Structure 1
Amino acid sequence: MDLIVLNVVVYAATGSPVWLAATMIARTVGGVLASLVSGVAADKWNRKSIMLFTDFARAGLILLLIPFPDPIMIIVVSGLIGFINSFFMVSFSAEIPQIFGQDKIIETNSLIARLTSVSLVTGFIGAGVITEMLGYKYTLLIDAGTYILSAIVLWRLKWNMAVPETKAIKGVRQNIISIGKDISEVLQYLKRAPMLLKINVVFLIGAFAGSSHNLGIPLLAEDISPERQSFYYGLIWGVWGIGSVLATYTIPRLSIIRSEKIYMVFFVCAMFMSLGFISFLSSTVVPVVLAFAFLTGIFDAGFTTLHASLLQKADNYIRGRVFAVGMLLKSLGFAIGFFAATMLLSNMSMPHMVWILHGTLITTCLIAIGTSLFQSAKKKHVSVAGESRG
């Protein structure tokens, strides 16, 4: 809800895509800074406590915007929310196997994606309708209430939490040294898992491409109807969310994702997701926009669900830091993408900007698929040659 209302308020107050991009960049920069330490915190401290603190902190920040809605304040709060979101999501994602079991991560991630999509549908459409009818203050008030509700439910939830294997290190200098060692350990871990490294590269480019549609959708909504921008902004994301909901019912039933081909499915989902965003952001005909938004939601759900499931296969002692690397890549990709998108918008139309950024993701996926097939064929050839010599 805050994503819709803050972007609408900033754009309405300034009328500038640069301010709109600045708000999104602030959120992603906050995520970048947090990603450097959120994984370490998730592996060394109680993840449930981290999630509880961040829920209440986000509620407080949202409420702060009701009396202070000026653009500068929105940018500051967006940065802080991005910072706090990283801590919550890294701890939450890393703790999923502990709560539900390592053998149920695909089903669990599909359920989480489904419920998230349902909340996105109601949140996006609700934000558009409530903001249009009652004003942004009521939207922010309800949004803050959802974080408080989340904290209450989380506080009452019980599960067997793993005891951190290492103790938190005290002292600024020692913490900096520890962070460097932790990042190095994650990089070494990823080097031993080349496919995991590839999906993280695709995820990085996916975030880079994602900045184009996050910036483009509010501009598209204004092109459709300047008077009802918030309504169409929420409607587009809402229909996208409906596609995501339906996809989460299908994903756990696919036998292909329980094999090594899960990586290829991940790459294919990424490509079709990009094609979907390119398609509906290139039109202002509402039925066409909504139809392709729906299809895009289906492949977007596959992309995010499979990415989380693949990262959750990492060992528990390092899982938080692996997710933190993923969050870091996502935040870096968004930040770089927003800068690139803003520069491109000054020289070309919004659809052309989307084609360029999402085209990079399609190209990256094709390279990842090609190199993976080549390496697989080479491995089989070496294996056959070895058996022949034997």
Structure 2
Amino acid sequence: MRGLRRWWDDTAGGLPATFWYLWSGLLINRAGAFALLFLSLYLTAARGASPSLAGLVVGAYGIGGAAGTLLGGVLADRWGRRATLLAAHLTAAGLMAALAFSRHLAVIAVLAALVGVAHSMPSPAFVAAIVDVVPEARRSRAFNLQFWAFNLGMAVASLLAGVLAEASFLALFLVDAGATLAAAVVIALKVPETLTRRPAVTPRAVVGRRPGLHTALTDRTFLTFVGLTFLLAVLTMQTSTIMPLAMRADGLRPSAYGLVVALGGALIVAGQLFVPRLIEPYRRSTVLAVSTGLMALGFGTLTVADGLPLYLGAAVVWTVGQMLAAPPNAQINADLAPPELRARYQSVFYLTFPAASFVAPALGGLSLEHLGERHWLVVGGLGLVAAAGHLLAGPRRERRVAALRAESERPVGVAR
């Protein structure tokens, strides 16, 4: 019992109550966010859309997501984290209910794009609020718990979605809307506004300009990190875009693909809470290099994979890499952001994921068609490039974080 308590203290101890309410809202939201998992099936089975038209509608959701990420970052820094979270959740719940009763494909497409905006707006605000309330020494653990909650919620959503979709598509959308509304209630009742106004602390490269979204978009140290994260996201997207095609080419059934994906999710849910203590003694750039290297090894192994056992073994390797990368990746992203631009920086960072969700299938499909199994050597090579990039960029990032910390701690009115 004493050992269990010590493990819990190392994993989640010392985190403020506001964090746990944010965490609960995220978990509820993710566990209920299952309607979009079946949007393409709903459009083809219930609304008579062709597969190509269904793909365009789902693509509209993705485009809305990119816009919502940037909008959420700007609003979270201007309105506040709580106001942005509430506006996004309430809007998403209303749009999802409207989507449940819509019949015309054009209306559904517009609503899907708007839902994409509303679903993506909370991400920068969530992370910015966590950074606002969690002491720096505990942030790695907080981000680790956030990643764990996200994956646990998605696992629950996947299970519930299948059951509800077989029973009623209407119920699928309405329960999704209800879960989003429940998350909004938790935020409204328990999460205070965490944004505090303070004198601007901007990187030297942009001193003299009025701080805004352009600050993040012209911050070379930050953009280098975003670029490396984009490579990591491209690797991660292989599991949901290109790997199913490769497994089918190897003669494996869809159930085999489901088993590989389920194994990764199970590993994250079972093991993610142990990661902070494991990586704590090491520099973040080193952890990211090792984690990205493991992902490169896992995906590179698929070059010789022709049966389920090798796919499962490779999945273990790349999932461990993902688990190790999650806390330092989020921590570095938070550390590089000036406090008054925290959510804007988050929004630029989160653009890597919709970008990767487009690039991975578009270029990956061509690569697989022309290179065959050698496609996985290219993917592994990208992972090794990212690993080397983290080692090379690490010292500059650390100097930048130290400079930002010194500036933020300088008493107001003291010249730089």
Mapped to 2, the partners of 1:318 and 1:373 lie a distance apart of 22
SS at match of 2:62: helix
Q: Which residue of 1 aligns with 2:62?
A: 28
SS at match of 2:194: coil
Q: Which residue of 1 aligns with 2:334?
A: 312
Residue identity in the other structure for 1:117: N
On the 8 A contact 2:68/2:121 being kept in 1, the answer is yes
Q: Which residue of 1 aligns with 2:161?
A: 127
Q: Report which stretch shifted further, 280-289 or 84-93.
A: 280-289
Q: CA deviation at 1:73?
A: 5.5
Partner deviation per Cα, 1:83-141 (whole Å, 9 max, x = no partner)? 2233210011111022333331111111122222211221123323443x424443333
Mapped to 1, the partners of 2:169 and 2:304 lie a distance apart of 29
Q: Report which stretch shifted further, 150-159 or 265-274.
A: 265-274
Mapped to 2, the partners of 1:10 and 1:343 lie a distance apart of 27
Residue identity in the other structure for 2:379: H
Q: Which has the higher contact order (CA 8 A, sep 6+)?
A: 1
Residue identity in the other structure for 1:309: Q
Residue identity in the other structure for 1:101: P
Equivalent in 178, 181, 184 of residue 148 of structure 1: 181
Q: Which residue of 1 aligns with 2:288?
A: 266
Do the aligned partners of residues 35 and 113 (structure 1) sit closer, same or farther apart at CA in structure 2, a change above 3 Å counting?
closer
Q: Which residue of 2 aligns with 1:303?
A: 325
On the 8 A contact 1:213/1:277 being kept in 2, the answer is no
Partner deviation per Cα, 1:160-201 (whole Å, 9 max, x = no partner)? 6233459xxxxxxxxxxxx9951332245x44xx4x443311
Q: CA deviation at 1:4?
A: 2.4
On the 8 A contact 1:271/1:361 being kept in 2, the answer is no
Mapped to 1, the partners of 2:246 and 2:173 lie a distance apart of 23
Q: CA deviation at 1:151?
A: 0.9
Quick check: 1:92 aligned with 2:126? yes
Equivalent in 198, 207, 232 of residue 206 of structure 1: 232
Mapped to 2, the partners of 1:242 and 1:143 lie a distance apart of 23
Q: How does 1:153-164 map to 2 (within 5 A)?
A: 153-159=186-192, 161-164=194-197
Identity among equivalent pairs (%): 20
Do the aligned partners of residues 277 and 327 (structure 1) sit closer, same or farther apart at CA in structure 2, a change above 3 Å counting?
same
Structure 1: runs of 5 or more not aligned: 167-178, 377-390
Partner deviation per Cα, 1:229-249 (whole Å, 9 max, x = no partner)? 6x8776654432221123321
Mapped to 2, the partners of 1:277 and 1:134 lie a distance apart of 37
Quick check: 1:243 aligned with 2:274? no
Do the aligned partners of residues 210 and 71 (structure 1) sit closer, same or farther apart at CA in structure 2, a change above 3 Å counting?
farther
Q: Report which stretch shifted further, 107-116 or 271-280.
A: 271-280
On the 8 A contact 1:105/1:312 being kept in 2, the answer is no
Q: CA deviation at 1:220?
A: 7.4
Residue identity in the other structure for 2:213: I
On the 8 A contact 1:20/1:215 being kept in 2, the answer is no
Mapped to 1, the partners of 2:184 and 2:94 lie a distance apart of 12
Aligned residues: 351
On the 8 A contact 1:97/1:312 being kept in 2, the answer is yes
Quick check: 1:330 aligned with 2:353? yes
Q: How does 1:329-368 map to 2 (within 5 A)?
A: 329-341=352-364, 347=369, 355=376, 358-359=379-380, 361-368=382-389
Equivalent in 388, 392, 395 of residue 371 of structure 1: 392
Mapped to 1, the partners of 2:366 and 2:190 lie a distance apart of 46
Mapped to 1, the partners of 2:372 and 2:313 lie a distance apart of 19
Residue identity in the other structure for 1:263: S
Mapped to 2, the partners of 1:160 and 1:26 lie a distance apart of 32
Mapped to 1, the partners of 2:168 and 2:300 lie a distance apart of 31
Q: Which residue of 2 aligns with 1:101?
A: 135
On the 8 A contact 2:302/2:310 being kept in 1, the answer is yes
Do the aligned partners of residues 339 and 220 (structure 1) sit closer, same or farther apart at CA in structure 2, a change above 3 Å counting?
closer
Q: Which residue of 1 aligns with 2:99?
A: 65
Mapped to 2, the partners of 1:274 and 1:3 lie a distance apart of 30
The normalised TM-score by structure 2 is 0.69
Partner deviation per Cα, 1:14-64 (whole Å, 9 max, x = no partner)? 674x55754554333223323444322221112111111111222233333
Mapped to 2, the partners of 1:236 and 1:56 lie a distance apart of 35
Do the aligned partners of residues 198 and 350 (structure 1) sit closer, same or farther apart at CA in structure 2, a change above 3 Å counting?
same
Q: How does 1:174-253 map to 2 (within 5 A)?
A: 182-187=212-217, 190-191=219-220, 194=221, 196-216=222-242, 236-253=260-277
On the 8 A contact 1:128/1:232 being kept in 2, the answer is no
Mapped to 2, the partners of 1:366 and 1:33 lie a distance apart of 29
Residue identity in the other structure for 1:303: A
On the 8 A contact 1:209/1:358 being kept in 2, the answer is yes
On the 8 A contact 2:260/2:312 being kept in 1, the answer is yes
Residue identity in the other structure for 2:383: I
Partner deviation per Cα, 1:280-300 (whole Å, 9 max, x = no partner)? 799685665555445543332
Q: Which residue of 2 aligns with 1:176?
A: none
Q: CA deviation at 1:11?
A: 6.7
On the 8 A contact 1:52/1:155 being kept in 2, the answer is yes
Mapped to 1, the partners of 2:246 and 2:157 lie a distance apart of 19
SS at match of 2:212: helix
Q: CA deviation at 1:210?
A: 4.2
Do the aligned partners of residues 90 and 369 (structure 1) sit closer, same or farther apart at CA in structure 2, a change above 3 Å counting?
closer
Mapped to 2, the partners of 1:23 and 1:351 lie a distance apart of 31
